[in-house]
Amino acid sequence: MTVTPEMLLDGPRGRRLCLNLALELMPALRQPVMQCGGALDPAMGKGRVHLTLMVPDDDDAGRPLDDGPWEPGDVARVLRSCDPGGVTERLIGRAFDASVSVSRGWQEPEGEDFLAALPEIRQALIPLARAVLATAAGASYDAPRQAEQWHLDWRVPEDPVRLPSSPRPQLAAWAAATRAEEERAHHDRPRDPRAPYSGTWWSHPERLLQTVGHIPSSFDRIEDLPWEEFMTAVPIRGTGRTYEIAAEEDWAALCRDFPLDVTASRRHSWFSVTGRDGDWVIPDWESVASVWDAVHLSSLAYLRCATRSITVDDARASMIAGWNPDTTIWLTDVAREWVEPRQSWRRSRASDEWERTA
């Protein structure tokens, strides 16, 4: 599949990656973006506003930008002056990490996400999206599950890591609990999606074995990041059949083939995220395990699909929430710790970078 810049900008997380990258390249734009984002942020009780500004000419583009007031069209004009030639793998990684860290599968997006979704901003971000895809990192975003995998554990090295096991009973318990929550929510929660209710919002079982394909880049690409100081990476190898989620249709097909209704239990949280009021489904993971041993979400699929409404059919939709990029979820007992040594890592207090300690 040929990945285009527009594909990267299809999803909220991809747009936010590119906007973050622009801020890495043009730090002076941070205040205007925060100002416009704040005006669009539902949490601040504000809607879109119309402001005016004189944007600096090219001759003084290196000078600090005016304090404002700013409006999105002005931000788009400055974004169009951003030189994609300054894009590096390191800056892309920082922008990707930041996009994942502000992903919200349980409430309204940040104002900056609304800003990045505006047509004029998306259009202005196309050169940066193209530059991302032209790098080695960007070219690998649609790669399938790698043979070499790592399970990430946040405990200190002295605390032994115990890998999740026995997926079959865990899936059975998850399926029973999900249906029970759905039944309770159907009776106890109001139909109005705007009502102040919340509950389970993620779209997969949390307690199964999860692995990533690349370290240490995956350490900070975790939604609702715990921000711990230590990380133990356990080498994993698995066999069997892996279902690849490379685009939204892959997720939609999984939901059609193995549908599990979660309308009542997800309605309020997912309406807040997407603005969609309707029926919601996720895959019945216990049934998926009868056909597939593992499911892998590529980085590109995450950037395109996470935290957006994905059409399943004329009546139903779904959402990918709580699932990190380039992450494999193991549904059957086919994955094992490999012969390579475990790796211990620590976050540097000085640089905030990860350093290997063993």
Under the banding of pLDDT at 50, 70 and 90, the label for residue 64 is low
pLDDT of residue 156: 74
On whether both 326 and 350 belong to a single domain, the answer is yes
pLDDT attached to residue 48: 40
241 domain-assigned: yes
Q: What is the pLDDT of residue 47?
A: 42
Tell me the pLDDT band of 183, cut-offs 50, 70 and 90. very high
Percent of the chain with pLDDT over 70: 94
The predicted pLDDT at position 51 comes to: 40
What is residue 208's predicted lDDT score, i.e. its pLDDT? 97
Residue 161 pLDDT > 90? no
pLDDT category of residue 172 using cuts at 50, 70 and 90 = very high
- Per the structure, the count of domains in the chain is 2
248 with 346, same domain?
A: yes
* 125 within 8 A of 18, measured Cβ to Cβ: yes
Residue count (the chain)? 358
Q: Which two tokens stand for residue 21?
A: 């990258």
* Domain edge (last residue) among 139, 158, 183: 139
- Does one domain contain both 317 and 225? yes
Q: Residue 14 has what pLDDT?
A: 98
Q: Are residue 113 and residue 154 in the same domain, yes or no? A: no
Query: Can you give the pLDDT at residue 185?
Result: 97
158 and 28 in a common domain: no
Same domain, 49 and 169: no
Record the tokens describing residue 236, joined without a space. 């994993």
**Contacts of residue 36, Cβ cutoff 8 Å, sequence gap at least 6:** 70, 71, 72, 75, 111, 115
Q: Is the pTM of this model over 0.75?
A: yes
Mean pLDDT rounded to a whole number for the chain: 92
Q: Are residues 133 and 110 in the same domain?
A: yes
Residue 46 lies in a domain: yes
Same domain, 95 and 180: no
- 25-60 per-position pLDDT tens digit: 999 999 999 999 999 998 875 444 434 444 444 443
Convert 161-177 to b/e letters by CB count within 10 Å (16 or more is b): eeeeeebeebbeebbee
Q: Which domain holds residue 124?
A: 5-139
Q: Are residues 179 and 118 in the same domain?
A: no
Domain match, 287 and 170 both: yes
